[in-house]
C-alpha cells in the first residue's frame, strides 16, 4: 500500500485517539507533513493518502461503528487543512453521516473570529442553509420521514450559540440574501 512505514503508523486510529488537545493533533499533522515532503509522492499517491486521512477522520468520529471522538476529529480537520487546502470544506458533509449536526456548531465555535477559516465558516453556513431548505421542502411535501434533526441542533435566536457566534444573523443572511 504505502512504501513508508511512517505514513502507515500515522494512519492508525490508536495514534490519534491518544491526542488530548489540538496541540497533540498538530504535532501528528506536522510529522505527516514532514514525511510527505521527504517522500516523492505523485498526485495519485498524495490523493490516496488524503482519502485515507479523510476515512480515518470519519472512523474516529463515527458514533455508531467507530470511536465516537468528536473533538479529535474536529481538530484533525482543522489541522489537515495545512496539508490539503480544501480538506476542511470537503469534510463538512461527513458530520451529518458519522456524527451529528451539533458537530458543525462545535466546529463553528472552534473557528470563531479566525480569519484563516472564514471560507470554511461560510461553507458551513451554506451547508446548513441548504439542508434546512431541504427539510422545509420535505415538510411542505409531507415527507416527514425525510426530515433531518438539523432544527434540533441549529442555533436559535438569543441562545448561547447565537450570542457567541451571531449565528442567527449569519444564517438568515445566507438563507435570504
Q: How many other C-beta atoms lie within 10 A of the C-beta of residue 95?
A: 24
Q: Could you tell me which residues come within 8 angstroms of residue 132 by beta carbon, excluding any fewer than 6 positions away?
A: 150, 151, 154, 175
Residue whose C-alpha is closest to residue 150's, from 90, 104, 98 = 104
pLDDT at 35: 83
For residue 155, the model assigns a pLDDT of: 84
Rounded CA separation 156/159 (Å): 6
Residues 69 and 110 both lie in one domain: no
Query: Quick one: 107 and 69 in the same domain?
Result: no
Distances (CA, A) of 158 to 4, 114, 125, 151, 155: 51, 22, 18, 15, 9
Same domain as 6, residue 75: yes
Domain shared by 7 and 70, yes or no: yes
Model confidence band, residue 1 (pLDDT cutoffs 50, 70, 90): low
Q: What is the pLDDT of residue 170?
A: 94
Q: Write down which residue in 45, 62, 88 finishes a domain.
A: 88
Cell, residue 177: 440574501
Task: Return d(Cα 13, Cα 150) in angstroms, integer.
Answer: 28
Give the three cell numbers for residue 145: 420521514
Average pLDDT, the chain: 91
Alpha helix positions (H), the chain: 5-10, 13-17, 22-38, 43-61, 70-80, 87-90, 92-98, 101-111, 118-140, 150-153, 160-165, 167-175
Same domain, 74 and 104: no
pLDDT grade, residue 140 (50/70/90)? very high
Share of the chain above pLDDT 70, in %: 96
Give per-residue pLDDT as tens, 9-36: 889 999 999 999 999 999 999 998 888 8
User: Per-residue pLDDT tens for 94-126?
Assistant: 998 999 999 999 999 999 989 999 999 999 999
* Domain boundaries, position 173: 100-177
**Is 104 part of any domain?**
yes
pLDDT score at 20: 94
Model confidence band, residue 177 (pLDDT cutoffs 50, 70, 90): confident
pLDDT at 3 over 70: no
Neighbouring C-alpha atoms within 13 Å toward the C-beta of 173: 7
Domain boundary among 59, 88, 117: 88
Identify whether residues 133 and 159 lie together within a single domain: yes
Residue 40 has pLDDT above 70, yes or no: no
- The alpha carbons of the chain give a radius of gyration, in whole angstroms, of 18
Amino acid at each position: 500500500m504505502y512504501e513508508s512505514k511512517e505514513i502507515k503508523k500515522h494512519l492508525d486510529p490508536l495514534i490519534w485517539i491518544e491526542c488530548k488537545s489540538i496541540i497533540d493533533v498538530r504535532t501528528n499533522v506536522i510529522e505527516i507533513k514532514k514525511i510527505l515532503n521527504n517522500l516523492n509522492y505523485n498526485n495519485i499517491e498524495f490523493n490516496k493518502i488524503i482519502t485515507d486521512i479523510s476515512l480515518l477522520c470519519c472512523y474516529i468520529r463515527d458514533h455508531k461503528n467507530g470511536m465516537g471522538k468528536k473533538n479529535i476529529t474536529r481538530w484533525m480537520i482543522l489541522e489537515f487543512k495545512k496539508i490539503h487546502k480544501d480538506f476542511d470544506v470537503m469534510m463538512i458533509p461527513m458530520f451529518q453521516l458519522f456524527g451529528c449536526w451539533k458537530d458543525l456548531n462545535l466546529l463553528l465555535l472552534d473557528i470563531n473570529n479566525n480569519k484563516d477559516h472564514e471560507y470554511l465558516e461560510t461553507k458551513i453556513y451554506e451547508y446548513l442553509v441548504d439542508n434546512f431548505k431541504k427539510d422545509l421542502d420535505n415538510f411542505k411535501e409531507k415527507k416527514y420521514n425525510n426530515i433531518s434533526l438539523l432544527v434540533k441542533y441549529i442555533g436559535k435566536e438569543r441562545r448561547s450559540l447565537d450570542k457567541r457566534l451571531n449565528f442567527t444573523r449569519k444564517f438568515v443572511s445566507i438563507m435570504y440574501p
